[in-house]
Structure 1
Amino acid sequence: MTRPSAASDTSESDAPDRFEAGPDATSDQTGPGLGPAADDLDGERRGPTVPLPSGQAKHRAPTGEDSRFEQVLETLRKQVLDLEFADGLDGAEEGRALKADVLAQLSDYVLPRVRRPDIPLLIAVAGSTGAGKSTLVNSLVGEQVTTTGVRRPTTNSPVLACNPADVDWFSEASFIPSLPRVRQQGLAMPGKDGMLVLAATEAMPQGVALLDTPDVDSAVSAHHEFAAKFLDAADLWVFVTTSGRYADARVWEFLQVARDRDTSMAVVLSRVPRRGRRRLLDHFGAMLEANGLGHAARFAIPETDQIRGERFTSNVADHIREYLADVAGEAEQRDRVSRRTFIGVIDSFRTRVPELARQVERQIETGHALGAVVDDAYSDAQERIDASLGDGSLLRGSLLARWQEVTAGGDLAKSMRPRGKRSRKGRSEQAERGRRVGALEDAVRDSLEALVVSAAERAAERVEQRWRKVPGGDALVEKALANPGGMDLARQMRQEIGEWQREIAELTAADGATKRSVARFVSFDHDVVALVMIIDLLGYEQTRSGGGAHAAESSGPSPQRLLKGLFGAQSLRSIGGSARENLRRRVLGLLAYERVPFDTALSGADIPSDDSAVQLYQATYNLEIAR
């Protein structure tokens, strides 16, 4: 946006008709009112007022008796209040801003007016740095209620001027409860940053309050939010900007908010120089029209040094004072202004609440995507483990060598003997046999441990890599890594394998498994037989039948043939099925524990619940039905 050149136009009398201009700084006469007059409700021609859209007069602001409407609004407010957003994830920044915006307007503007429709009309004077808002407020009130100065930003604590009869309504119990405030005593004095100063004065008519707000383009970012909070709670905006700053982007951001909410508003262009006056006003007026703000009442204040006691000494602000007196002079007219703003705010929820719901949906979708990454990674880990447990791929290296030692040494046959017959093996032979069987047992545990630990580590790496590619995912990864769960997976896996082997030994000793005739006449070492069954479960036969070199080179009887001889095919299938499912359940439990840090990081990320977006859409529908 650009400003016109003011070099060639010096005629003050050429003020555009769309503005009501104040007098020159050197004049003692009230300048002509050039703004369009509006019909008042009684049909008399009065000063300029905020025009209402066609058909607006038939609506009314809901009263405190409209319990259904208030209940719907309260439900909406609670749903918005309960929303949480996960830091850094898609929709978080936008969602929090929309949440704060909707919540503030519900809590500070809409609900108070539903509960008490007779509350004072709040006029907020807002605008650019150095625009003279505080001077204008003092001039409108007729006495000093707020402090001006050369320091920028000047208004570090907003001042609210009202009649003493109204001051209690603006206490913490009724007006923006979260905001601290102090009551002004005597001469206007600034409060602390972030504190509202209440200035009770008989100069203000009862039923009307005037608020001097922080600069909307302040160098202090907190002032922007502060200004927005008060504008959200106001019935009428008097927006003041200067001839040097009216095209600034920050000015138009606030003006467009008023446009989108159909807020009752007047616009004041201050510090207008005599030279180029008409071109400035033309350009500003064209910008208002182009941005959908042609309905706003418009005023101009010339450059002037006629200021004393932080007020204008001449009648510079009379035209604005008359406008406000006209707007706020009668209860019916005040209701007309507040009604327009109120209905505009309610109408704006048709788009603002669904937009908030869309940001919630973005967070939910991101949460689902992150959760799916964890599910897929650990599901793939389980599938890899299941495949490796049955295809014989573990029967190589150390495990294969230990199995070959056991079979070559005849340890399987020697572990069996006729019942009632004592073993005549010497101690050294028994020790050697025990060493070979123990080595096989260790090799089984090492192979299974390595398989599960490797699969779990690959799953964790996959989750970490995928999460880090998502905006905000780095923080979730760091949170997960900072809380690993405290379990030593390798150690726990060895413990699980030992318990699993003992359970297999118990299965082979069960009555149903030993009723076969051969088992009635032969006793055997159940721990050794459990190892044989583990070798069979790990896919010895699949590798052998498939031509696998490692398993095919093993000597001795095949595990399956030996086991069938002891238990029979049916019992063997039953024992094998139970043992296989037992191991799978243990591995699933370990993988589930390994994913806990990721699940915990995700569940603690304040991602909205799946039904929260639906509830917001439903609340929007309920609001339309109840209005």
Structure 2
Amino acid sequence: MTTDPAALLAAVEGLRTTAAGVRLPLELDGVDRARTTQRELVQQLDDYVLPRLRSLDAPLLAVVGGSTGAGKSTIVNSVVGENVTATGVIRPTTRASVLVHHEEDTRWFTDKRVLPELARIAGQSVQDDPGSVRLVTSDVLPSGLALLDAPDIDSVVQANRSLSKQLLSAADLWLFVTTAARYADAVPWDLLREASERGTSVAIVLNRVPPEALEQIRLHLATMLKEQGLGQAPIFTINEVDLDQGRIPARDIERLRGWLSSLASDARARSVVIRRTLTGTLGSLAERAGGLVAAGQAQAVARTELEKGPRAAYQDALAGVEAGINDGSLLRGEVLARWQELVGTGEFLRSVEAGIGRLRDRIGAWFTGKQVTSEPLGEALQTGAAALITSHGQVASSTAARGWKTAPGGRELMDAHPELTRASPGFAEDVERLIRDWQHDIFDMVREEAGSRRSTARYLAFGVNGLGVLLMVVVFSMTAGLTGGEIAIAGGSAVLAQRLLEAVFGDQAVRSMAVKARESLIARVEALYDDERARFDRALEEVPVDPAAISQLEAAATTVETSR
């Protein structure tokens, strides 16, 4: 043990705080075991390590544990010479654990020094529930020793099994009770193996042994204990005898009672048992905390990957929209048809080559004589852009959802949020609103750029809406995505739209407006996709993982190791 108890206590307190602060919300492989490790670690620190470090002179707590029907309660009653705890092969499932102690030691157990989660019940109270511990005083049991009758370690009730293990972890001494018929059962040996690994002090009570089989069974049990590193554990055998008022006759229990009494009366012997268990438990903390650190790190990695999936999906969606805007693919089908309705036949396009001057004379007829407006073209452009943005957004949500379903920890998130498999309910309306708002941006840009030109014939011939639609055509003017005749038509459309705009604003202004309009649209789409992706972020907020807490736990475990 350390020469600086205060430093060790502070280190263990830090370990307890950091261990409780680690979160393991994602359903990864092995997470159930990690959560159990965390719960058991925190419980043992609360129930045993911290109380014992704070009070090394407190009474030795011997927890009596074993399988159903092994005779644990009978052993306790027989040691203290009175029936203080209920016996029977089939025990009630709602029964408080019983802690028997000398009256002089009452102060050590009435407060929450040990087992702080369990309520205290005095005497034979009817408030008998498994979430409490019933305190019973005994003049037979010497001061300095307390016996705690724990639930069955193989109880059919999960809560009883968990409580039994918790109580055993709070013991200075594990007093395991088994029988000649069941001493080789697997469940007790799992706990005994754990006790050996942690250096816990253990004593074995071999109950109901037929006299003729005593030597053979005792030898076999001793061999099994030695194989598990418990060769020094004392074995107390009790013959198969008739009970007297539900208790083992005094002559048959005397050896165990005498050993416990001598342990209680000998401060040095008691200290050896206490320090052996405490030292062993302290020595196990680093490895147990290390397992929790590894589980926490796996959670952090998995959560990072879950964050990356939706981000990548919506980044790809934005890139797809940018490509669709830049490659001229929006100038297909319906848009081309509406454009041709607006500008007429190829003769109109050829007139551009003869010079924009001669074209001006025909502009008025374009918008008035033919009674053709830019509205159908504008609507076609809006519809095409909206379809592009909507399609990529829907693909992004579907892709992100599929990624989560196959990613570690993601399937449970998708089960909790099936709505993430598709775009949000109002997504299509949001896209339409985005396009309308963007178009208004373009109209405002045209008005601002026009300035004093608003009274010129060129400006009046087109109007704000007409010029805005032409600017939209220029924004979607690149032709990398088109083939065959579409290239010639769409390319000519872009050239014509740009020259018409240049006739009003000049070439530099047109280029500047086109860049601004494209950037405005991309920024709006990015913001919309960010809002869609935020649905995945909100789902992840329900499974918080704090990498800093994991690092703090790792540091705290190191501090305990160096302090002990």
Query: Shared topology, TM-score over 0.5?
Result: yes
- In 2, distance between residues paired with 1:494 and 1:521? 31
> Larger deviation: 546-555 or 214-223?
546-555
> Of 283, 291, 308, which residue of structure 1 is paired with 2:244?
308
> Of 383, 386, 390, which residue of structure 2 is paired with 1:453?
390
Partner of 2:79: 140
> Of 58, 71, 89, which residue of structure 1 is paired with 2:28?
89
Q: Give the match's secondary structure for 1:525.
A: helix
- Counterpart of 1:380, as a letter, is D
Indicate whether 1:576 and 2:514 are aligned: yes
Q: Give the match's secondary structure for 2:231.
A: coil
Question: What does 1:48-447 correspond to in 2, within 5 Å?
Answer: 59=1, 63=5, 66=6, 68-152=7-91, 156-185=95-124, 191-305=128-242, 307-408=243-344, 432-434=371-373, 437-447=374-384
- C-alpha change, 1:77 and 1:241, in structure 2 (3 Å) is same
Q: How many residues align?
A: 551
- C-alpha change, 1:75 and 1:417, in structure 2 (3 Å) is farther
8 Å contact kept, 1:236–1:265: yes
Q: CA deviation at 1:167?
A: 2.2
> Larger deviation: 144-153 or 108-117?
144-153
| Alpha-carbon displacement from aligned partner over 1:444-470 (angstroms, at most 9, x marks no partner) | 221111111111111111122222224
8 Å contact kept, 2:62–2:147: yes
Q: CA deviation at 1:481?
A: 3.3
> Larger deviation: 251-260 or 501-510?
501-510
Q: Give the match's secondary structure for 2:99.
A: strand
Q: CA deviation at 1:148?
A: 0.7
Partner of 1:4: none
8 Å contact kept, 1:126–1:215: yes
> Larger deviation: 401-410 or 233-242?
401-410
User: Which consecutive unaligned segments of at least 5 residues does structure 1 have?
Assistant: 1-58
Question: What does 1:544-555 correspond to in 2, within 5 Å?
Answer: 547-553=483-489
- In 2, distance between residues paired with 1:133 and 1:105? 22
- In 2, distance between residues paired with 1:521 and 1:215? 95
Partner of 2:414: 477
- In 2, distance between residues paired with 1:266 and 1:88? 39
CA RMSD after TM alignment: 3.1
TM-score normalized by structure 2?
0.89
8 Å contact kept, 1:395–1:551: no
| Alpha-carbon displacement from aligned partner over 1:227-280 (angstroms, at most 9, x marks no partner) | 111112111111111222222221111111211110011112222223433332
Indicate whether 1:614 and 2:554 are aligned: no
Q: CA deviation at 1:591?
A: 0.6
TM-score normalized by structure 1?
0.81
User: Which consecutive unaligned segments of at least 5 residues does structure 2 have?
Assistant: none
Give the structure with the larger helix fraction: 2
Partner of 1:466: 403
- Counterpart of 2:105, as a letter, is D
- Counterpart of 2:102, as a letter, is N
Percent identical pairs in the alignment equals 34
Q: Give the match's secondary structure for 1:611.
A: helix
Q: Give the match's secondary structure for 1:216.
A: coil
Q: CA deviation at 1:518?
A: 12
8 Å contact kept, 2:122–2:134: yes
Indicate whether 1:532 and 2:497 are aligned: no
Q: Give the match's secondary structure for 1:166.
A: helix
Q: CA deviation at 1:551?
A: 4.3
Partner of 2:539: 601
- In 1, distance between residues paired with 2:239 and 2:434? 87
